[in-house]
Amino acid sequence: QICLSLVKLLFYLAHSPLGSIVLLDFQPRQFVMVDGNLKVTDMDDASTEELSCKEDNDCTLDFPTKSFPVKCSAVGKCEGINEKKNLFNAYRYFFTYLLPHSAPSALQPFLSDILNATGDLRYGINETLKAFEKVLHLYKSGLYLQKRSLHLKDYISLKGFRAVEEPDYKCWPSYSHLGCLLSIHSAEEAAAICNSQSQCQSFIVTERRTWTGRPLASFQSSPTDLIPDANAVVYIKRSASLGERL
C-alpha cells in the first residue's frame, strides 16, 4: 500500500502542471500516511529545475552506491533526470525494505522484477505504475492462486459459530501482534495457509477487510471454545480432535 501510494505520488510529480518535480530532500521522514494515501509533508526542497547540459557526460546521476548515465536533450537539459532521481530514491528508501515482504509467494517474482528494474532505472515512473497496478489486480482478483487447490476438503466447516479470540501462535506478516491474522482471497486460500503452518489446526474468516477489500482470517493452533455467531463459519482440520468443544 505504501509503495503503490508513493508511485502514484511520483507519477503525479513527473507529470505535474509545473513540469517534472524533484524532491531534493527525499527521506522517509518527509512522508506521512493520510487516509491510506502517502503525502509529502514539506515541499520546500522541491524543484522543477532540470540540470542543464552541453553533452551526455554532463548528466551523470550520482548516488552513494550507483551512478546512471542520462541523455542531454536538444534543449540542453538532462532528460528525465528529476523523474529518475525520485524513482531511485523510492527504490532505495522504500522498495528495498517493503516489497520483499509485501505479497504472497506467488506474487513475489513480480515484485522482484519491479525491484530490479527500478534499482537499475530500467523502468520509468509510467512503467513502474503499470507494474504495480498489475500486481494489485492479481492480488485482489485471486488470479495468482493455483486453480486446482483442494485444501478446504481437509476441513470441517461449522456454520453459526466462531472461535473465542485469544492470544495464540504468531506468524508473519500478521495484522495482529497477539496471534496469526492474515489477508486472504478465499476460504480455500486460508486452508492452504493453515496446511502450510505446523501449528495451525483451525481458522475463521472474519468480517474485517484490508485496504484492498480482502477479508482477514484468524489462524489458531487448536480448536478453541466455540460460541454462537449467526454470521460466522469456523473451519477445523478433520484430523483435529474436537472433543467436547462441539
CB 213 within 8 A of CB 231: no
CA dihedral 72, 12, 95, 31 (to 10 degrees): 120
Whole-number average pLDDT of the chain: 89
Say what the pLDDT of residue 241 is. Answer: 52
Say what the pLDDT of residue 165 is. Answer: 74
DSSP letter assigned to residue 92: I
**Alpha-carbon span 78 to 70, nearest angstrom:** 6
Residues 48-84: tens digit of each pLDDT: 988 999 999 999 999 988 999 999 999 999 999 999 9
Q: What is the mean pLDDT of residues 91-117?
A: 91
Say what the pLDDT of residue 180 is. Answer: 93
Q: 151-243 is classed in which CATH architecture?
A: 3-Layer(bba) Sandwich (3.50)
Asked, colleague to colleague, whether 1-141 and 151-243 share their fold, the answer is: no
Extract the C-alpha cell encoding 46: 522541491
Which residues are marked as active site?
25
Q: 1-141: what fold?
A: Transferase(Phosphotransferase); domain 1 (1.10.510)
CB 179 within 8 A of CB 167: yes
**Boundaries of every domain in the chain:** 1-141, 151-243
pTM as predicted: 0.84
Task: Give the pLDDT band (50/70/90) at residue 200.
Answer: very high
Residues 151-198: tens digit of each pLDDT: 889 999 888 887 777 788 898 888 888 889 999 999 999 999 999 999
